[in-house]
Amino acid sequence: MSFIVVIPARYASTRLPGKPLRDIAGIPMIQHVWQQARKSTAVRVVIATDDSRIQAVAAGFGAEVCMTRADHVSGTDRLQEVAELLGLGDEQLVVNVQGDEPLIPPAVIDQVAGNLAANNQAGVATLCEPLTSLDDFHNSNVVKLVANDQGMAQYFSRAPIPWPRDHFQRQQSGMPEDSIARRHIGIYAYRVAQLNCFVRWPVAVLERFESLEQLRFIANGVGIHVAYAVEAVPGGVDTEQDLDSVINTIKSL
């Protein structure tokens, strides 16, 4: 199995401007992500950006950089442009590692690529973890999913799914002990052919309603393989509080 990692990195961020270049223990965030990706078995790690400041910093620490357009609506669109610019073939596997996850475990990068390679009926693969917090279950910023017994995603939603009706009829607090709720982890592996299809399809109705781009694949009949992550995946950096937490974690290591 051969796969490539692409790390999209945008300078603009409403909650944390200049996020990829924010300092974490003396190293810019994007370099931490790149270093973690390099510890995976990927044959190539590429940083994709539309900002010359990120390009200069990434080139400075030795990363391969691909400059992309600034008008992409989603990360998947940016990934497809990278695949096109690099001349990747339809069957090439590409793993999208978010540029704001400096603690991403290399093992889960290998896992999601391996899962896609092993499942020919899927065009995309992703990961999840058990969801045990009632607050997270009701939090629309925490994406939930349901999958069938063959490990294929049936739906992703910001709503609390699947709904444990009987449990909440009996009590209003806490998750049921036998809950099968899953929290989606935003790492994806794609076949390039499916990326090329994605950018040609119109925005799907469900995608627009939920504001979840992966629903475009499901709406068009493309299978998304889902598995529990082999290691815990720390959350990404969206706020100053997240950044402080990651800094403390890295310093402790």
Query: pLDDT tens, 74-98?
Result: 889 999 999 999 999 999 999 999 9
What is the count of structural domains for the chain? 1
Assess if residue 243 is contained within a domain. Answer: no
Assess if residue 253 is contained within a domain. Answer: no
Please check whether residue 174 is in contact with residue 84, taking contact to mean a CB–CB distance below 8 angstroms: no
Q: What is the predicted pLDDT for the residue at 81? A: 97
Domain housing 185: 3-234
Assess if residue 240 is contained within a domain. Answer: no
Query: pLDDT tens, 136-178?
Result: 999 999 999 999 999 999 999 999 999 999 888 887 678 888 8
Q: What is the mean pLDDT of each run of 10 residues along the chain (253 residues)?
A: 93 82 93 97 97 96 96 90 96 96 96 97 97 94 96 98 90 84 97 97 97 97 98 88 87 78
Assess if residue 239 is contained within a domain. Answer: no
Residue pointed to by tokens 């009926």: 121
Q: What is d(CA 100, CA 92) in angstroms, rounded to the nearest whole number? A: 24
Assess if residue 9 is contained within a domain. Answer: yes
Assess if residue 251 is contained within a domain. Answer: no
Q: What is d(CA 231, CA 81) in angstroms, rounded to the nearest whole number? A: 30
Assess if residue 241 is contained within a domain. Answer: no
253 class by beta-carbon count within 10 Å (0-12 exposed, 13-18 middle, 19+ buried): exposed
Q: What is the predicted pLDDT for the residue at 242? A: 87
Pairing state between β 27-28 and 3-9? unpaired
Cα angle 10, 14, 17 (rounded to 5 degrees) comes to 60
Q: What is d(CA 116, CA 1) in angstroms, rounded to the nearest whole number? A: 10
Q: What is d(CA 197, CA 42) in angstroms, rounded to the nearest whole number? A: 24
Assess if residue 76 is contained within a domain. Answer: yes
Q: What is the CATH number of the domain that holds 178?
A: 3.90.550.10
Instruction: Give Cβ neighbours of residue 194 (< 8 Å, ≥ 6 apart).
Output: 123, 124, 217, 222
Task: Count how many residues are written for the chain.
Answer: 253
